[in-house]
Structure 1
Amino acid sequence: MNSKLKLRQAIDTLYTNGPAIHECYTRLALECFRASDVDQAKRLKSHMDLYLFKPNDTFIHNRLLNLYAKSGEISHARKLFDEMTQRDNFSWNAMLSVYAKSGLVEDLRVIFDNMPSRDSVSYNTVISGFAGNGRAGQALGVFLRMQKEGLKPTEYTHVSVLNACTQLLDLRRGKQIHGRIIICNLGGNVFVCNALTDLYARCGEIDQARRLFDRMVIRNVVTWNLMISGYLKNRQPGKCIDLFHEMQVSNLKPDQVTVSSVLGAYIHGGYIDEARKVFGEIREKDEVCWTTMIVGCAQNGKEEDALLLFSEMLLENARPDGYTISSVVSSCAKLASLYHGQVVHGKAFLMGVNDDLLVSSALVDMYCKCGVTRDAWTIFSTMQTRNVVSWNSMIGGYALNGQDLEALSLYENMLEENLKPDSVTFVGVLSACVHAGLVEEGKEYFSSMNDQHGLEPTPDHYACMVNLFGRSGHMDKAVDLISSMSQEPNSLIWTTVLSVCVMKGDIKHGEMAARCLIELNPFNAVPYIMLSNMYAARGRWKDVASIRSLMKSKHVKKFSAYSWIEIDNEVHKFVADDRTHPDAKIIHVQLNRLIRKLQEAGFSPNTNLVLHDFGEDEKLESINYHSEKLALAYGLIKKPHGVTPIRIIKNIRTCADCHIFMKFVSNITRRPVILRDSNRFHHFVEGKCSCKDYW
């Protein structure tokens, strides 16, 4: 028969026989304490109260009080403490422990201040309680008070005080305490060494942390975890992974904390495939592991994997937090997957995290990047609190979707709310000016960055201004602005110049921009292709051949243009003149039928945009089967009726012929079409586009 059952039977007997003598109560109180059986302790106390037994010593009460303290029984402990007519330091310290473990720091302070006398245990309990409940400054204050009273700190004291210094990132005071530890000859204590290692690692002195680690004779798993996570916090993922391998060689088994740090190291080092292998080997994955892996995939271009992992996480009944949800929503935004975004939004609502600031801001961004600014605005306008990220998502979202005046109006509202804009805010504002052709307004906003808000323009802002000047026919001003830059213009600046030159047919500045881009990166296909397109548009086929020959000699590979459309939760991808899709034949039949119908309404394919030296028939064949047209035809086949928009994504800028084509389709079929290309969203409704033919 086990001790707990014997204890229960003894107390049952006590209830049957009535009152007991002092020795019986004492023995049973001691047995409850030894067995950590708080339920039987409560029964014993109720029996004592029933028979009005009031012991005249503190032994019984102290044992019960200590048991309540261990179990976090605040109300029972408080009631018993108030009843006690005699209290010693053990009694007071037990109450300190109750409040410290329960996080009731104000009650902890009151009890400590009212104690008739204090010993090292009292101080240790209070210092630990303050440090463990986010009151690091108060913990250090009590430590100074302890020293003034002449009480000698123990290794337990030093661990708590070091933890307080770590919370405050107070390295100066931490080093002073380190000196005391050496004087007191406590440097060999494993818990003290762990606390010191954590302090130095978190305060950026990772090499000092490693020296302490290397000198340690005894290392438990916690020690390794502190050093491994320390390398990760100091942005040294390679050393984090190396130390993990050392840990494995030492025959110590990693725990969840170890694995989470190593996952983070692989992810921050860009080794996402290795991270997946480590993740796959974990048998019992907690929320931290799931979140680390999902966020890693979301941040390393593996958005589809992030969505799949999120589904698996839910199936495993692991509960995602706001950080996890926001990362998944961001993945949906990058994929422009409205369906998945709406599903995750629903999950966020059911879990009660949809009002979380991170989540709601991510949802605003997602709906904007899926072309549904109305839903984005609904979320934004009902947010209880908004930060600059929330405002930026909505301002940038309006600009991306051709609602330029709405973007600028919202920016003015942001200023009225006395919220300080940042660099991202002005990218949205200046982009709105570019697409609305607001040159003077753009100049004013650009000047206000430094003059009014103390923000130094970045290449992103200069690129917007170059775009604005170039599109409005002032390429000379754009070039002057580039010359005035304090930093060297990067590839974004010259790509912007080249894009505008292609649009305007400006060979002179286009050649200059292409040369600069090729110097920056000789293996990037973009400048070669764009310059080749400019020559082709002018019929300069010898120059086109020269560019292609140069690409071949440098082994520069041309990237593929493609479009995709999501139908019934399945993504369908197309390239130009695609014949690989299972429904390729009916897609081409549908597209040919659509082209004939549009031609009857006045549409004429623009074969001048074909950048090859072909005959007219070949040019028609080339331009009629661009990837976005195939995707549109497939969308009309699968969703022939209704008023819901057909949504298409393209990885490069859509051509002028496809743009006109989409306008005709939206007018003839009375079906909205939303096309997101590499530049922006195009909302085609009744023959008009939200970009106002300016993209």
Structure 2
Amino acid sequence: MPIKNVVSWTAMISGYVEVKKMRIAIELFEAMPVKNHVSWCVILGGFVNCRQFDEALVFFSKMLSSGVRATVPSIIVVANACSFKGNLKQGCKIHGYIIKFGFHLDQIIEASLVSMYCHCLEMKEAELEFRKLEMKYIGSWNALLYGYVNNNNYNIYDARRFFDSIVSRDNLTWNLMINGYLKHNKLDDAMKLFSMMPEPTMEVFTSLMYSFIKNGNLEVAVKLFYRMPERDVVAYTTLVFGYLENGQLEEAMELFNKMPVKNVVSYNVMISGLLLSGKTMEAYYLFKKSPVKDAISWDSLVAGFVENGFYTEGIQLYKNMLLSDTRPSELIIASLLRASARLSIIMHGEQIHGMAVKLGHEGCLIVGNSLINMYGKCGNILMAKFVFDQMSERDVVAWNAIIHSNACNGFGKEAIVMFKKMKMSQIKPDDITFLGILFACNHNCLWEEAQGYFNSMVHDYGIKPSLAHYACLIDLLCRMGMTEKAEELAHSMPFEPDSTVWTSILSGCTLHCNVKLAEHAFNQLNLWDPLDRMPYMHLIRIYESIGRWSDVERIRSKMNELTSITRAGCSWV
């Protein structure tokens, strides 16, 4: 620009503040030849929005020292900075400035002061300061009521005491008190107060509906919806969400289609509900119909596709999302890494890893856990260990991921070492942890150790073994040739043996030539899936090894008959 004035300078600073690039905004601000009260207010607001409260207070002092008088917006900004910082000393100075220059008569400034005292003092002391105020506008009463409602050190009935002392209440006063009851899960008290409200607002109706939905009482929420004198898009969307939460997909879809106006939130709620119900294609078609798509729309769709097993399609959707200039969230990155792990395509996983680093998501716990899992499933244990070692914090999921990665890639002893380190880190193992350890023992034929870990899981940690835990022990016994003991364990466990258990027993019999048990396992597997050729091939190998050629021909003939039988197909069409 050939000529820059204070307006153009302030506009540029405001742009950088908007995208939270405060360093550049400060450099421009310092370079300004002339600053007015608007320029100062913009930079102060930027500091508060970026949670740089100390800097906001320092610059406010600089503003006053430069001879620029404070305005209502700048005072509100620094009062908020004092509130968030809990800086009572500076807040009292601001209060003094307000009185000195006559700003105490402004309604918004008075409410900001009350809010500041609520943040910096005990509520009783904040109320004393409130009583000293000259005007006591309704906004100030509401600010103190908000403080009581949201202060966890006080009983909700302290808020009700103060509410009852307010003579002239507006809709916000009623909304605050009713929402206070809802926050403390006192739905009966909320409904009693609601019945006393002179003119119930849509906001109160909607808040009550949502609370009843979350407490599993959809019937009351529906009654509230139809009692509303008028309904907005939020009320409709809340009830659609309620139907979906209650598993009533058809009712949700019917109400969604009847909505006079829909916004992006309405579409997102319905799309998420369809995905959770496994209606992946229907969710995709609704997504395409949505006139506006935000980051949450893409999050829901990509994550839903991956969750429902459409891994390749999920990755393609991610590419479409990038073309729409939407920034991938941590959730999408984690979902795509899970898709790469399921597909065992490390190239995709590495590309997603690169994107995570570029976006600054690699430090996110859910992304780190997904990276370990992806590299482990794709066979790159070195990268899995590298990611694990780089993590600043680790939860039980991270430890489980590295234990399973080692176990699945043949590093059973390393998995056991990681388990010991996990316990030393004071992270309590769960059922998934022990499944990984038993898997490690299985592949290293460590029967005594496996028994020890199984008993520790039950007696030391109180974890009830699942069928998968028993299946791991049974497979280990079969690997070691103890097929009869494996069968005993299969019949003694509190579960009906499934096809995985019988497959382990049949495989063990094949290796160690236990004909009688192999035939029993074969018959059991035939009951599970008569069209599976695998049991026939195992039994043929056993008969061949002992020279029972007539039985070989008989089983092979039965197996060949399976080729004429086809499984029932399915289609999306």
> Shorter-normalised TM-score: what interval?
0.7 to 0.9
When residues 267 and 175 of structure 1 are mapped into structure 2, their CA distance, relative to the original with a 3 A threshold, is: same
Determine which of 194, 203, 219 is the counterpart of 1:207.
219
Look up the match of 1:198.
Answer: 210
Look up the match of 1:370.
Answer: 378
CA contact (8 A) 1:469 1:478 kept: yes
CA contact (8 A) 1:99 1:108 kept: no
When residues 355 and 271 of structure 1 are mapped into structure 2, their CA distance, relative to the original with a 3 A threshold, is: same
Pairing 1:595-606 to 2, within 5 Å after superposition? none
For the residues of structure 1 that align with 2:391 and 2:68, how far apart are their CA atoms? 59
Look up the match of 2:390.
Answer: 382
Look up the match of 1:96.
Answer: 111
Residues 59-114 of structure 1: CA distance to partner in whole angstroms, max 9, x if unpaired? Answer: xx9xx6379649998699985862424879854753434785x9994479675541
Determine which of 33, 53, 65 is the counterpart of 2:72.
65
* 2:531 equivalent to 1:532: no
TM-score normalised per structure 1: 0.64
Q: CA deviation at 1:331?
A: 1.1
When residues 234 and 444 of structure 1 are mapped into structure 2, their CA distance, relative to the original with a 3 A threshold, is: same
Determine which of 487, 496, 501 is the counterpart of 2:495.
487
Determine which of 460, 471, 481 is the counterpart of 1:452.
460
Look up the match of 2:173.
Answer: 157
TM-score normalised per structure 2: 0.76
When residues 404 and 203 of structure 1 are mapped into structure 2, their CA distance, relative to the original with a 3 A threshold, is: same
442-451 vs 68-77, which moves further? 68-77
Structure with the bigger percentage of helix: 2
CA contact (8 A) 2:114 2:126 kept: no
CA contact (8 A) 1:430 1:461 kept: yes
Look up the match of 1:583.
Answer: none
Look up the match of 2:129.
Answer: 114
**Counterpart residue identity of residue 65, structure 1:** V
For the residues of structure 2 that align with 1:197 and 1:349, how far apart are their CA atoms? 42
For the residues of structure 2 that align with 1:557 and 1:533, how far apart are their CA atoms? 23
When residues 278 and 234 of structure 1 are mapped into structure 2, their CA distance, relative to the original with a 3 A threshold, is: same
CA contact (8 A) 2:107 2:139 kept: no
Look up the match of 2:429.
Answer: 421
Determine which of 76, 97, 120 is the counterpart of 1:82.
97
**Counterpart residue identity of residue 182, structure 1:** S
Look up the match of 2:49.
Answer: none
Pairing 1:181-330 to 2, within 5 Å after superposition? 181-186=194-199, 188-247=200-259, 252-330=260-338
CA contact (8 A) 1:502 1:534 kept: yes
Residues 494-549 of structure 1: CA distance to partner in whole angstroms, max 9, x if unpaired? Answer: 34334434444444334433443444x456x4xx3122112332351212322453
Max Rg structure: 1
Q: Secondary structure at the match of 2:230?
A: coil
**Counterpart residue identity of residue 139, structure 2:** V
Look up the match of 2:482.
Answer: 474
Pairing 1:600-619 to 2, within 5 Å after superposition? none
Q: Secondary structure at the match of 2:428?
A: coil
103-112 vs 138-147, which moves further? 103-112
Number of residue pairs the alignment of both structures matches: 496
Residues 339-379 of structure 1: CA distance to partner in whole angstroms, max 9, x if unpaired? Answer: 11111111111111101000011101111111011111011
For the residues of structure 1 that align with 2:350 and 2:68, how far apart are their CA atoms? 65
Q: CA deviation at 1:291?
A: 0.4
Q: Secondary structure at the match of 2:362?
A: coil
For the residues of structure 2 that align with 1:113 and 1:506, how far apart are their CA atoms? 87
Structure 2 segments unaligned to the other structure (5+ residues): 1-6, 8-35, 43-63, 83-89, 545-551
Pairing 1:488-527 to 2, within 5 Å after superposition? 488-519=496-527, 521-522=528-529, 525=531
Structure with the bigger percentage of strand: 1
When residues 410 and 165 of structure 1 are mapped into structure 2, their CA distance, relative to the original with a 3 A threshold, is: farther
Look up the match of 2:86.
Answer: none
CA contact (8 A) 1:364 1:393 kept: yes
Residues 643-672 of structure 1: CA distance to partner in whole angstroms, max 9, x if unpaired? Answer: xxxxxxxxxxxxxxxxxxxxxxxxxxxxxx
For the residues of structure 1 that align with 2:323 and 2:110, how far apart are their CA atoms? 43
396-405 vs 121-130, which moves further? 121-130
Look up the match of 1:408.
Answer: 416
Residues 464-502 of structure 1: CA distance to partner in whole angstroms, max 9, x if unpaired? Answer: 011011111112222222222223334443343344344
Look up the match of 1:684.
Answer: none
Pairing 1:612-651 to 2, within 5 Å after superposition? none
Q: CA deviation at 1:205?
A: 1.7
CA contact (8 A) 2:404 2:436 kept: yes
Look up the match of 1:124.
Answer: 142
Q: CA deviation at 1:234?
A: 4.2
Residues 102-139 of structure 1: CA distance to partner in whole angstroms, max 9, x if unpaired? Answer: 999447967554112556532323444676xx757759
CA contact (8 A) 2:159 2:177 kept: yes
CA contact (8 A) 1:294 1:306 kept: yes
Look up the match of 1:667.
Answer: none
* 2:357 equivalent to 1:355: no
- Aligned residues: CA RMSD: 3.8
Q: Secondary structure at the match of 2:460?
A: helix
Q: Secondary structure at the match of 1:297?
A: helix
When residues 342 and 522 of structure 1 are mapped into structure 2, their CA distance, relative to the original with a 3 A threshold, is: closer
Structure 1 segments unaligned to the other structure (5+ residues): 1-7, 9-36, 44-48, 55-60, 560-695
